[in-house]
Structure formats: structure tokens, C-alpha cells
């Protein structure tokens, strides 16, 4: 059963924290993880209770929240179960597709008693998503989205990132992998025809100035190498709007690179502000 007007809320997931603030929940947040950095400038002074994988459960209990928000993938089941065993209500969500995000937001709004604001945000996402669906990309491009190095790791088709990039015309060369975040070799992606390689700023902090030369040597000069804002493409909720804006910009590659034999060169994609 949903909490009735919770007054003390803890968030264990950065994308949820940002969304709770966006729908009017800032005054009720009593703590969040150290990775909860958005909205920038609005969370200064908010108590921190560790990371997403190692929260200070004892500290959370001491804060006596009415409700804790968690994500099934970001947070550990044992932490959720320990909080529930202490009588603390925990809301656990796990949207894997962009189309699932609006209902998740509405659910958080119901939890907070902020239904109107939540519905407004959800409707904005639905409107943007519908517009993208009406205007299909001109072509398609094969890609690999790298989330780690040493070992190199990527994403399968059963991920939010992959579903989002499909809206740009992206075809994930590792879509069929059984593991959602498989270990893969760069040469495998090239053999599968990936013409674009994404290097996001998280979870591994890829930076063009630091890793640009390395990835050019590893992946070659022919494929596109894009250093992108990882939160725009992997955070769901309020940040989905930025993800959809990024998708619109990425559609240029569906026109420019209809086949893996695209033009060379690195690049940095930045979603527009606002």
C-alpha cells in the first residue's frame, strides 16, 4: 500500500532523487546517496548515507524515514530487505524501457502526494516519445556502448540504454547477449560491424581528453568514437527528457552512417540544456 503523505523520504538511486525533486519532493528528502548529485545546486547540505551498493543501513534507520525509494538494479536486495524488516516502507522500481518511465514517475507522484506534478512530467515524456515515434529515423547504425574498460564491458538489448538508442536508429551489436552487461572484446564489436562506439561518462568515467587516443588505437580510425554524457543516456525519470533530446541529435548518424562503413573521427555529444 502506498504511504500516505510521507514526510521523511530517503532515496537510494540518483535518477530517482533528481525526479523526486522535479515533482516537488525536495522538502521531504532527509538523505540520499553520495552519487545523488542532481539537480545540481539543490542538494547541498543533504545528509549522505553511502553509495548505491553499500548504503549505511543503520544510519538510514536512525533517520526514521517514512519511505525509502530504491531501484532493483542499482540497489541490493539485502539492503532493501533489512530496511523492510525494520518496518520501513521501501518502494522498488525498475523501468527497463523508455515507455515504462512515465508510469514509474506517476507511481512516485502517488507515493508523495504529488500526482499533478508527476503527471505533468510524465506527459511531457510521453509527448516527446510520441513525436519521435511519428518521425522514424532515416536509416540505422550499428553501435556498441561501452560502460567499462579492463575488462571491456557493454550493454545488451535488455537495457534502458539500448531501448533509448533504438529511437535514434541504433542497432546494438551485442543486443542478443544473455548477460545484461556482458564482458566483450573491442575486436568482437568491430567484427560485428559496429560503426559507432559510445564512451559514456559513467559508470566508467570515459573522457575524450584522457581516453581519446587510447580508444582510437584500440578501435581504429574508421568507426565513430563518441564521448557522451552517461547520465543523459542511462538515467530514467526526469533525465529521460535529456535522453530523448540526445536521441534526436544522434539520428544524424542514421542518415550519415546507414552502414558500418561510416566516416572516421571522434566526437562529443552533448544534450541541449533545459
Position 3 in a domain: no
Position 156 in a domain: yes
Whether residue 100 is found in the same domain as residue 146 = no
Which residues does 100 contact at the CB level (< 8 Å), separation at least 6?
none
User: By C-alpha distance, which of 140, 144, 141, 254 is closest to 189?
Assistant: 144
- pTM equals 0.88
* DSSP letter assigned to residue 48: B
Whether residue 47 is found in the same domain as residue 120 = yes
- Residue 37: give its domain's CATH number: 3.40.50.1980
Position 2 in a domain: no
C-alpha cell of residue 86: 525494520
Whether residue 190 is found in the same domain as residue 115 = no
The residue written with cell numbers 588505437 in the block is: 217
Domain of 182, in residue numbers: 138-269
pLDDT for the residue numbered 136: 86
pLDDT for the residue numbered 270: 41
pLDDT for the residue numbered 32: 97
Whether residue 106 is found in the same domain as residue 142 = no
pLDDT for the residue numbered 254: 85
Whether residue 108 is found in the same domain as residue 160 = no
Query: Strands (DSSP E) along 33-136, which ranges?
Result: 67-71, 89-93
Position 4 in a domain: no
Whether residue 171 is found in the same domain as residue 209 = yes
pLDDT by position in tens, the chain (length 274): 454 578 999 999 999 999 999 999 999 999 999 999 999 989 999 999 999 999 999 999 999 999 999 999 999 999 999 999 999 999 999 999 999 999 999 999 999 999 999 999 999 999 999 999 998 888 999 999 999 999 999 999 999 999 999 999 999 999 999 999 999 999 999 999 999 999 999 999 999 999 999 999 999 988 999 999 999 999 999 999 999 999 999 999 987 654 444 333 344 444 333 3
Quote the number of domains for the chain.
Answer: 2
pLDDT for the residue numbered 96: 93
**Contact call for residues 31 and 60 (beta carbons, < 8 A):** yes
Amino acid at each position: 500500500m502506498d504511504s500516505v503523505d510521507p514526510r521523511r523520504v530517503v532515496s537510494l538511486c540518483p535518477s530517482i532523487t533528481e525526479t523526486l525533486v522535479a515533482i516537488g519532493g525536495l522538502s521531504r528528502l532527509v538523505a540520499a546517496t553520495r552519487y545523488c548529485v542532481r539537480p545540481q545546486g539543490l542538494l547541498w547540505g543533504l545528509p549522505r548515507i553511502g553509495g548505491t551498493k553499500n548504503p549505511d543501513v543503520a544510519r538510514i534507520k536512525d533517520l526514521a524515514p517514512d519511505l525509502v525509494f530504491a531501484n532493483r538494479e542499482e540497489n541490493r536486495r539485502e539492503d532493501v530487505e533489512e530496511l523492510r524488516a525494520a518496518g520501513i516502507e521501501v518502494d522498488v522500481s525498475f523501468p527497463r524501457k523508455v515507455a515504462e518511465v512515465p508510469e514509474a514517475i506517476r507511481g512516485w507522484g502517488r507515493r508523495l502526494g504529488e500526482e499533478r506534478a508527476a503527471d505533468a512530467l510524465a506527459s511531457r515524456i510521453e509527448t516527446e516519445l510520441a513525436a519521435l515515434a511519428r518521425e522514424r529515423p532515416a536509416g540505422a547504425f550499428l553501435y556498441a556502448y561501452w560502460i567499462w574498460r579492463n575488462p571491456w564491458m557493454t550493454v545488451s538489448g535488455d537495457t534502458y540504454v539500448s531501448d533509448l538508442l533504438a529511437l535514434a536508429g541504433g542497432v546494438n551489436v551485442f543486443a542478443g547477449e544473455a548477460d545484461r552487461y556482458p564482458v566483450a572484446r573491442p575486436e568482437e564489436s568491430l567484427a560485428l560491424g559496429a560503426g559507432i562506439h559510445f564512451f559514456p561518462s559513467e559508470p566508467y568515467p570515459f573522457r575524450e581528453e584522457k581516453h581519446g587516443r587510447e580508444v582510437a588505437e584500440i578501435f581504429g580510425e574508421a568507426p565513430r568514437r563518441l564521448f557522451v554524457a552517461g547520465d543523459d543516456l542511462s538515467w530514467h525519470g526526469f533525465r529521460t527528457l535529456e535522453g530523448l533530446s540526445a536521441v534526436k541529435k544522434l539520428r544524424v548518424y542514421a542518415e550519415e552512417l546507414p552502414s558500418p562503413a561510416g566516416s572516421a573521427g571522434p566526437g562529443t555529444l552533448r544534450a541541449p540544456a533545459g
